[in-house]
Amino acid sequence: MVRVLRDHETVKLPERKSTTAAAFDIYVPETTTVEPDSVTMIPHGVKVEIPRGYFGLIKERSSLAARGLHVVAGVIDSDYRGEIMVLLRNTTSEEYIAEKDDRVAQLILIPQYRHSAVEVEELTSTDRGAGGFGSTGQ
């Protein structure tokens, strides 16, 4: 269960659109424009209480990603009690208009594993080593 608090009665609460949906859809409370090649912070009028032992991850919906719209950043710690904000990046050359109650992002709850960082003299060796960015093939 995720506890939610609306800032206004007209704001739609996050919801799962199917019984097997992995994430809660997040709605825009008012029409918002994201200019071409820019990032816009979109407030959602909802505060959430992420259960202890979890964190929230805000991601774009696949239908928006296919149109060149992406969420930038988006981790919500379980002790955060502020309004959900989405940083939406428009990578296209046209403005994007999100109408009131459009779904523009999704909230995924992920178990949080607590580990400590321990400084060492060297790391264990692997076949991959320091190779990154496609080093294992395409």
Residue 92 dihedral angles phi and psi, to the nearest 5° = -95, 175
Q: What is the pLDDT of residues 1-31, one digit of tens each?
A: 899 999 989 999 999 999 999 999 999 999 9
| pLDDT given for residue 73 in this prediction | 82
Name the H helices within the chain.
62-65
Q: Quick check: 34 and 93 in contact, CB under 8 A?
A: no
Q: How far is CA 74 from CA 62, 105, 117, 118, 135, in A?
A: 16, 10, 23, 27, 28
pTM of the model: 0.83
| pLDDT given for residue 74 in this prediction | 84
Q: How far is CA 24 from CA 56, 62, 118, in A?
A: 10, 13, 35
> Has residue 138 got a pLDDT over 70?
no
Q: What DSSP string describes 11-27?
A: SPPPB-SSTT-SSEEEE
Q: 25: Cβ–Cβ under 8 A, 6 or more apart, which residues?
A: 14, 15, 16, 17, 61, 103, 105, 106
Q: Which pLDDT band, with edges at 50, 70 and 90, does 134 fall under?
A: confident
| pLDDT given for residue 106 in this prediction | 96
Q: What is the pLDDT of residues 79-116, one digit of tens each?
A: 999 999 999 999 999 999 999 999 999 999 999 998 99
Closest CA to 97 of 14, 44, 30, 5: 30
Q: Tell whether domain 3-111 is in CATH 1.20.1090.10.
A: no
| pLDDT given for residue 14 in this prediction | 95
Q: Which pLDDT band, with edges at 50, 70 and 90, does 135 fall under?
A: low
Q: What is the pLDDT of residues 39-58, one digit of tens each?
A: 999 999 999 999 999 999 99
Q: Where are the domains of the chain?
A: 3-111
C-alpha span between 83 and 77 (Å, rounded): 12
